[in-house]
Amino acid sequence: MSSTRTAIVTGAARGIGAAVALRLASDGYAVAVVDLDETASEATVEQIAAEGGRAVAVGADVADEQQVRAAVDRVRSELGAPVVLVNNAGIIRDNLMFKMTVEDWNAVMSVHLRGAFLMTRAVQADMVEAKFGRIVNMSSTAALGNRGQVNYSAAKAGLQGFTKTLAIELGKFGVTANAIAPGFIRTDMTAATAARMGMDFADLIAAGEKAIPVGRVGEPEDVAHTVSFLASQDAGFVSGQVIYVSGGPQG
């Protein structure tokens, strides 16, 4: 892997995004660690640097067109033209539908769907010019339906359709697009879900371990390994797919 290739990972200050950024850096990519809070991204950047990699922290709201354009311009100037994009930024605003506000619906749609669209549109010309590109969109098993997450589920299902269309439109330029749908992954976000449900996080993990065929919950690194494959040169014939990283059959 040439060290001149650049990857962008959104929502990379912590959790799955941080693990993905670290893995891509170890694979030889220069990595732009994008998050709403640039300061929060510094820890990921410092860890990459400590392991001999090259990275930069970039603050941006992925749902803001001007901020996205500015962020990608900065990545080009500081690291080089991006040829890998991992659309991982996400938020939850969980509630049963009859209690859900329009604001909570719009916020989730904006970050997941509008954010992925704006980021992808901003980098696709770089990939087409390079005749190589890898787009990985973070969906979820929630795309199949999940009580209390009608907004999140709809957004994550939408990302799957977005991914398949990108694969059709960009394939002839050497660009692949795939989605990863994680199941129960041990992160701050799943801890927040446990809190919303009024459960102790340890109890939620124990319940997950019983329900998941492989007998454990996932770790952010499980998702990062899958991103690493999809971003690789060798994955050029895999496109438009949704890979469930969930410890057993889904979808």
Q: How many contiguous H segments (helices) and E segments (strands) does the chain have?
A: 9, 7
Task: List, in order, residues 6 or more apart from 178 with CB less than 8 Å away.
Answer: 135, 136, 137, 163, 167, 230, 235, 238, 239, 240, 241, 242, 243
Number of neighbours of residue 177 by Cβ within 10 angstroms:
27
Catalytic residue among 29, 117, 152, 184: 152
* Cα of 32 vs its chain's centroid, Å: 13
Q: What is the 3-state secondary structure (H, E, C) of 75-142?
A: HHHHCCCEEEEEECCCCCCCECHHHCCHHHHHHHHHHHHHHHHHHHHHHHHHHHHHCCEEEEEECCHH
| Tokens encoding 225 | 């390994």
Number of neighbours of residue 166 by Cβ within 10 angstroms:
24
The reply to whether 244 belongs to the active site is: no
Half-sphere exposure of 36 (CA within 13 A, CB side): 9
Burial class (CB in 10 A: 0-12, 13-18, 19+), 70: middle
Single-letter residue type at 22: L
Phi, psi of 125, deg, nearest 5: -65, -35
Q: Where in the sequence numbering do the catalytic residues fall?
A: 152
